[in-house]
């Protein structure tokens, strides 16, 4: 096993998390109870959303969101290909078709609004955006397009926990926002996820969908509020458990300070790395890097190597120095499974494909020190 000197990502876990987990065990109630309700209420308040529904993971959140909006066979959903595969898989779970739109450019790895416009057809039902690295997409323009064509908007806000767009939290900018609390996210519960919405109708549908379409939960029956249940929809088991909900509450309390830390580390990276010729720094000029109106969550620190540079050599050299780097992401439309079903030729999304070839994600997490950033920057500069 490699001994990393600087890891890509690390969760900020301490005695508070251990105590919260132990407290749940003492209650002897392990799933969908008081801890889940409190986590949902706190998360909704934090986001400024009317409703928050906790689920098993971010993929479940994305699936439920598309399902609750009634997306089905024959429908098209416009989404990015420079994302984790779950964004597009959620569309396929509903037997709808993901239609991939290219990214804005090398300075902004979010979906391009111009590309969205070009992909709209009579079958388009929804635009699913993903705030890459925690930098908000151009939501005003996206809403304008959605409004003109009567489309729903889903946010994959898995990278953007705590990010803000003109005073509103990411996740509350569309019809439904989806979050993941996977171990490398800004708020971690191991596995875990959340949906947020302002629509009472959608919230009700999502709640039912999370638990087999059942009208009452074991918790209600345990509390003596109900003795039986009906099944009113074909739902899933996407429930979260109490241990994760308790962890989530503690993590939510740390989120803002940890996001500030990520922001400071990001600025330090940017200041060092902008000196290196040939290296491109996506988002360095994005409003969320500096302005008051937009605030990033600084989930990832992506760089683009010079076009002709051999990425595998770079990664190998980083590894030799004990620095863990990664790639976000191989483009979804070029995965074997997607090729088999949709035959997207190479070159269909030229910017996405070039970014995917040149991108390297450098370590970024709240336990890193400024000296770690300097160490990584020195290594990058030497290697390049």
Ligand X SMILES: Cc1ncc(COP(=O)(O)O)c(C=O)c1O
Q: According to the binding rule CB under 6 A, does residue 210 interact with ligand X?
A: no
**Residue 91: CB minimum distance to ligand X, A:** 12
Q: According to the binding rule CB under 6 A, does residue 58 interact with ligand X?
A: yes
Q: According to the binding rule CB under 6 A, does residue 156 interact with ligand X?
A: yes
Q: How many CA atoms lie within 13 A of 74 on its CB side?
A: 2
| Nearest to ligand X of 294, 297 (CB atom) | 297
**Residue 364: CB minimum distance to ligand X, A:** 14
| Nearest to ligand X of 184, 216 (CB atom) | 184
Q: According to the binding rule CB under 6 A, does residue 238 interact with ligand X?
A: no
Of 331, 339, 336, the C-alpha closest to 358 is 331
Of 89, 103, 33, 83, the C-alpha closest to 60 is 89
Task: Determine the Cα–Cα distance for residues 267 and 170; give it in Å rounded to an integer.
Answer: 21
Of 154, 113, 152, 110, the C-alpha closest to 134 is 110
Q: According to the binding rule CB under 6 A, does residue 110 interact with ligand X?
A: no
Q: Counting every residue, how long is the chain?
A: 384
Site for ligand X in 112-141 (CB under 6 A): 130
The closest residue (CB) to ligand X is 58
Q: According to the binding rule CB under 6 A, does residue 324 interact with ligand X?
A: no
Contact with ligand X (CB under 6 A) among 43, 84, 135, 236? 84
Contact with ligand X (CB under 6 A) among 127, 158, 170, 202? 158
Q: According to the binding rule CB under 6 A, does residue 180 interact with ligand X?
A: yes
Contact with ligand X (CB under 6 A) among 87, 352, 356, 361? 87
| Nearest to ligand X of 80, 366 (CB atom) | 80
Partnered with residue 31 across adjacent β-strands are 241
| Nearest to ligand X of 159, 261 (CB atom) | 159
- Phi-psi region for residue 348, left (φ > 0), alpha (ψ -120 to 50) or beta? alpha
**Of the ranges 45-53, 56-64, 275-283, 332-340, which one interacts with ligand X (CB under 6 A)?**
56-64
**Residue 61: CB minimum distance to ligand X, A:** 7
Task: Determine the Cα–Cα distance for residues 154 and 370; give it in Å rounded to an integer.
Answer: 36
**Of the ranges 42-50, 84-92, 140-148, 300-308, which one interacts with ligand X (CB under 6 A)?**
84-92
**Of the ranges 35-43, 83-91, 285-293, 357-365, which one interacts with ligand X (CB under 6 A)?**
83-91
Q: Which residues contact 164 (CB under 8 A, 6 or more apart)?
A: 136, 170, 294, 295
Q: Is residue 176 within a helix (H) or strand (E), and if so which, with residue range?
A: strand 176-180
**Residue 83: CB minimum distance to ligand X, A:** 5
Q: Please provide the DSSP assignment of 353-372 as one string.
A: HHHHHHEEEEP--TT--HHH
Task: Determine the Cα–Cα distance for residues 147 and 136; give it in Å rounded to an integer.
Answer: 19
**Residue 2: CB minimum distance to ligand X, A:** 22
| Catalytic residue ranges | 185
The encoded tokens of residue 282 equal 């996506």
Contact with ligand X (CB under 6 A) among 6, 52, 82, 86? 86
Of 330, 325, 302, 298, the C-alpha closest to 314 is 325
**Of the ranges 39-47, 53-61, 91-99, 278-286, which one interacts with ligand X (CB under 6 A)?**
53-61
Q: According to the binding rule CB under 6 A, does residue 83 interact with ligand X?
A: yes
Contact with ligand X (CB under 6 A) among 11, 134, 174, 193? 193
- Helix 242-273, helix 34-47: angle, nearest 10: 30
**Of the ranges 37-45, 80-88, 198-206, 316-324, which one interacts with ligand X (CB under 6 A)?**
80-88
Task: Determine the Cα–Cα distance for residues 136 and 299; give it in Å rounded to an integer.
Answer: 12
Q: Quick check: 298 and 266 in contact, CB under 8 A?
A: yes
Using CB under 6 A as the criterion, which residues of the chain lie in contact with ligand X when the complex forms? Answer: 57-59, 83-84, 86-87, 130, 156, 158-159, 180, 182, 193
């Amino acid at each position: 096993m490699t001994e990393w000197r600087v890891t890509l990502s690390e969760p900020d876990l301490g005695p508070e998390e251990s105590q919260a987990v132990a407290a749940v065990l003492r209650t002897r109630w392990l799933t969908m109870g008081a801890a889940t309700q409190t986590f949902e209420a706190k998360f909704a308040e934090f986001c400024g959303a009317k409703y928050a529904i906790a689920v098993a993971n971010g993929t479940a959140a994305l699936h439920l969101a598309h399902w609750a909006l009634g997306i089905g066979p024959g429908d098209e959903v416009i989404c990015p290909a420079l994302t984790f595969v779950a964004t597009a898989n959620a569309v396929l779970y509903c037997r709808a078709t993901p239609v991939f739109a290219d990214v804005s450019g090398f300075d902004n790895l979010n979906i391009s609004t111009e590309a969205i416009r070009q992909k709209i057809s009579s079958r388009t039902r929804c635009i699913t955006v993903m705030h890459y690295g925690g930098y908000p997409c151009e939501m005003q323009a996206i809403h304008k397009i959605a409004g003109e064509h009567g489309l729903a908007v889903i946010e994959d806000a898995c990278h953007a926990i705590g990010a803000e767009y003109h005073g509103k939290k990411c996740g509350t900018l569309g019809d439904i926002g989806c979050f993941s609390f996977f171990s490398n996210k800004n708020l971690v519960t191991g596995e875990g996820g959340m949906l947020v919405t302002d629509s009472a109708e959608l919230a009700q549908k999502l709640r039912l969908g999370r638990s087999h379409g059942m009208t009452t939960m074991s918790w209600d029956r345990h509390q003596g509020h109900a003795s039986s249940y009906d099944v009113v929809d074909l739902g899933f088991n996407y429930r979260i458990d109490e241990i994760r909900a308790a962890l989530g509450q503690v993590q939510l309390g740390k989120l803002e300070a940890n996001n500030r830390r990520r922001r400071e580390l990001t600025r330090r990276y940017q200041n060092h790395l902008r000196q290196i010729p040939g290296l491109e720094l996506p988002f360095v000029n994005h409003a969320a890097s500096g302005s008051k109106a937009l605030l990033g969550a600084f989930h990832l620190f992506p760089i683009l190597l010079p076009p002709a540079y051999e990425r595998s050599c770079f990664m190998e050299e980083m590894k030799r120095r004990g620095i863990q780097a990664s790639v976000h992401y191989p483009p979804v439309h070029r995965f074997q499974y997607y090729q088999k079903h949709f035959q997207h030729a190479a070159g269909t999304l030229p910017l996405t494909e070039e970014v995917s070839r040149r991108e390297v994600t450098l370590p970024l997490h709240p336990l890193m020190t400024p000296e770690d950033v300097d160490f990584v920057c020195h290594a990058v500069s030497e290697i390049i």
